[in-house]
A and B are shown apart, each in its own frame.
Chain A
Amino acid sequence: MRKHWGLRAYAVIYLAFLYAPILLLPLFAFNDAAIIAFPLSGFSTRWFEQLWTTQALHDALRNSLVIATVTALLATTLGVCAARAGTLPNFPGKRGALGFVMLPLVLPEIVIAVALLIVVRQVLDLNLSNWTVIAAHTVICIPFSIAILNGAFQNLDPSFEEAAMDLGETRWGAFRLVILPLVLPGIVSSLLICFIISLDDFVIAQFLTGANPTMPVYIYGLTRFVDALPLIMALGTILVTISVLLLVIAEYFRRRGVARAGLKDSGGFL
């Protein structure tokens, strides 16, 4: 059945449009020329070697990794609370409270950045640091964490917790021994997604970063220098490779979570 060949062709062209810019990255990262232009000059790894010896880049990378790790842990912890609450019976105002936490999804990022900058500098009179970036990144990551974890928690069969408690576990024991293992894939994928969002964010970091820039802020500084272009291509190649690897891992865990929920469903029917 070869119907819809037009749509199929369109889908392939569309994917090409989505991937075209990214495919250029390795092409010019390994190109032995200081300008980004055709024709290509020849194979070279010198841009990667130069990245290896740039100390400022390493500092920015370390900063970004610390910020992304703390953000992922914080946002996912708060996300677990909200997603778990979502499965429990309603109390007055629960939907409103959960809706408000999701608000950053429909706010332009610059507004969140500006609002927090005002509070930190004018109201609290604190200095900008990695902590201000972490606090803001956590605000924008929580909705994503909740969206991912909702899927994991809503597939849970409530009778599992009841069974564990009937068998003598405390509520905390039931959570730790029964619920947590079942939602663990969701937690892992939430951690990874929050990590990627934080690592990739530029807008909030530019407003709230202290003396030490994060990776995207550092890259943005590089874009002003014409001779740094191949360096950005090399750096981009590395970042894209890491992102894709993390995504594949996150997707693997998400599917395993679905598979676990599926197993549980069939168990319930039996």
Chain B
Amino acid sequence: MGLLDSSPGARAAALVAPPLIYALLLLAFPLVAIVVISFWTQSGLTLERTFTLANYREIFTGPIYIWGNANRWGVLPLSLFVSATVTLITVALAYPIAYFVSFVAAPERKSLWLFLITIPFWTSYLIRVFLWKVILGFNGVVNTGLQSLGIIQEPLEVLLYNLSSVIVTLSHAYAVFAILPIYVALEKIDRSLLEASQDLGENRLTTFLRVTLPLSVPGIVGAVLIVFIPTIGDYVTPELMLGSGGRLMSNIIQTQFLQLNNWPLGAALSIITMLAVGIVSLVFILLNRRWLRGRA
């Protein structure tokens, strides 16, 4: 019981220790391992443990991953483009909802709205993605529904097996991630600022553009990051929606590990992807920094 009676700082340290040690062993150490293995090579079934840049050379000089060719984008730029589009759509659609719950909905209804918005997010992710395939498929709900209503004669093939179906599915899957940070930022806005703005002659639209929107930027930045980062690692949606055709970065990493058994290349691809995501995120934060600073 000696530790329990010691100073509060020491007790805090003792309490932090178990989760921290767990995270060091199962997060920090594995992340180091992934960096190390990315400098090794796979030859057949054996792992060549000599330091080499071969994997990175393949990624940066080959035509597949970064540069692409005349007919096709590189996989990394294409993946970044898909994630960025998903993020843009998700956040743009989410903002009015967050605004609605924060400013329009009756205060006693707010938690009910938030609860309703969160429920779909907690239902099986795999099933939700799969449902979009069922909805958009060749003999899917949209096609057969429109056919039985007599609106179309032939099934629309454009619905599935292209990037727009990936984008629709991901925008649906990550909606909640975008709504909650924006809602929190909107809730923090001092309502008297809006009255002040209207007293000084702004109308509702200009009040929104000059007061509400700039003050909610931290929430928008949070929403963008929390959608952008995980979507780039999502390989289930592209695999189910694209079939074996156009593949994204996450699919290639998954294939290197679970099918082609080239772990060093997979590790290097993971690191390049993380770096690309990190750089894009940092640039985005820097671009918005004048709104992120707290106002005196």
Chain A interface residues (CB < 8 Å from chain B): 3-4, 7-8, 10-11, 14-15, 17-22, 24-25, 28, 35-39, 77-79, 81-82, 84-85, 88-91, 94, 97-98, 100-101, 103-112, 114-119, 122-123, 135-136, 138-139, 142, 146, 170-172, 196, 200, 202-203, 206-207, 216, 219-220, 223, 229, 232, 235-236, 239-240, 243-244, 247, 251, 255
Contacts and interface: CB of A to CB of B under 8 A. Distances in A.
Given A24-B141, A114-B270, 10 more contacts: A4-B104, A10-B97, A22-B131, A37-B140, A88-B12, A91-B13, A109-B233, A115-B270, A118-B30, A219-B124
Nearest to A217: B126
Contacts of B123: 22, 239-240, 243-244
A251 B126 CA distance: 23
A18 B34 contact: no
A139 B104 contact: no
A253 B124 CA distance: 22
20 contacts: A10-B100, A11-B105, A25-B131, A37-B144, A38-B144, A38-B147, A78-B19, A81-B19, A82-B19, A85-B13, A89-B12, A108-B229, A111-B273, A118-B37, A122-B37, A136-B26, A138-B22, A139-B22, A219-B126, A223-B130
Given A103-B23, A110-B270, A240-B123, A89 B8 contact: yes
B200 interface: no
Contacts of A36: 134, 139-141
Contacts of A142: 19, 22-23
B124 A38 contact: no
B240 interface: yes
B96 A39 contact: no
Contacts of B273: 108, 111
Contact of B127 (A111, A122, A219): A219
Interface residues of B, number: 88
Interface string B1-33: 100110011111101111110111011111101
B23 A38 contact: no
Interface of B: 1, 4-5, 8-13, 15-20, 22-24, 26-31, 33-34, 37, 47, 93, 96-97, 99-101, 104-105, 111, 113, 115-120, 122-128, 130-135, 139-141, 144-145, 147-148, 172, 175, 225-226, 229-230, 232-236, 240, 250, 253-254, 257-258, 263, 266-267, 270, 273-274, 277
Contacts of B226: 105-106
A200 B121 CA distance: 11
B97 A114 contact: no
Contacts of A247: 115, 118-119, 122
Nearest to A118: B33
Contact of A139 (B1, B5, B9, B26): B26
A114 B266 contact: yes
Nearest to B101: A11
B126 A216 contact: yes
